[in-house]
Amino acid sequence: MAWTVLPKVSCMVCYTDSTTQRHIVAPVWAIFSTPPNQTAANTGELEKGLNSLADKLKGLAAGGDDIKKYASGNLTYGPGSRALYGSIQCTPHMDKDMCMKCLSDATKEVHNCCSKTRALTGVVFSGNCFYWYSHFNFLA
């Protein structure tokens, strides 16, 4: 399995020799973030924004196309109406419930790694899904 996430490009390749394999790979997370304390948002505001963004995108990805299982979008949050951009994806073999669970776990990992330090950008990957957020429009 391989994930590649670059500005304007999101690619995931998953290979299995079983057409019936429908289990979740053990949750091992790879985490990337910008240096801490880069955003004016406080931790609580950023966490609420990330939860809102995840809630907005999870259903679209989990219930979407069987091949892509992908969604992206943006919102504004906090008193300063800061822009927040996000991208999420699950591996195609996952059913809706498995994908929602993985993306919920990814949201928790984003909080653990990134929102608590107020990072401008954070990315978490597992063998089944990813969640990438940024205050910069990487989707354009």
What confidence tens digit (pLDDT) does each residue in 23-79 have? 555 555 666 766 655 556 688 899 999 999 999 999 999 986 667 888 999 999 988
Is 9 a domain residue?
A: no
3-state secondary structure 10-42: EEEECCCCCCCCCCCCCCCCEEEECCCCCCCCC
Instruction: State residue 57's pLDDT score.
Output: 96
Is 33 a domain residue?
A: no
What percent of the chain clears pLDDT 90, i.e. is strictly above it?
31
Half-sphere exposure of 15 (CA within 13 A, CB side): 2
Contact 46, 110 (CB under 8 A): no
116: containing domain: 40-140
Instruction: State residue 127's pLDDT score.
Output: 82
**pTM of the shown model:** 0.80
| Residue 39, token pair as written in the block | 């955003």
- Cite the beta strand spans of the chain per DSSP E: 2-6, 9-13, 30-33, 70-77, 82-90, 121-125, 129-134
At 86, the pLDDT band (50, 70, 90 cuts) reads very high
Is 76 a domain residue?
A: yes
The total domain count for the chain is: 1
At 2, the pLDDT band (50, 70, 90 cuts) reads low
Instruction: State residue 22's pLDDT score.
Output: 53
Region for 87 from its dihedrals, namely left if φ exceeds 0, alpha if ψ lies in -120 to 50, beta otherwise: beta
Is 67 a domain residue?
A: yes
Query: Above 90 in pLDDT, residue 104?
Result: yes
Contact 124, 30 (CB under 8 A): yes
Coil vs helix vs strand at 131:
strand
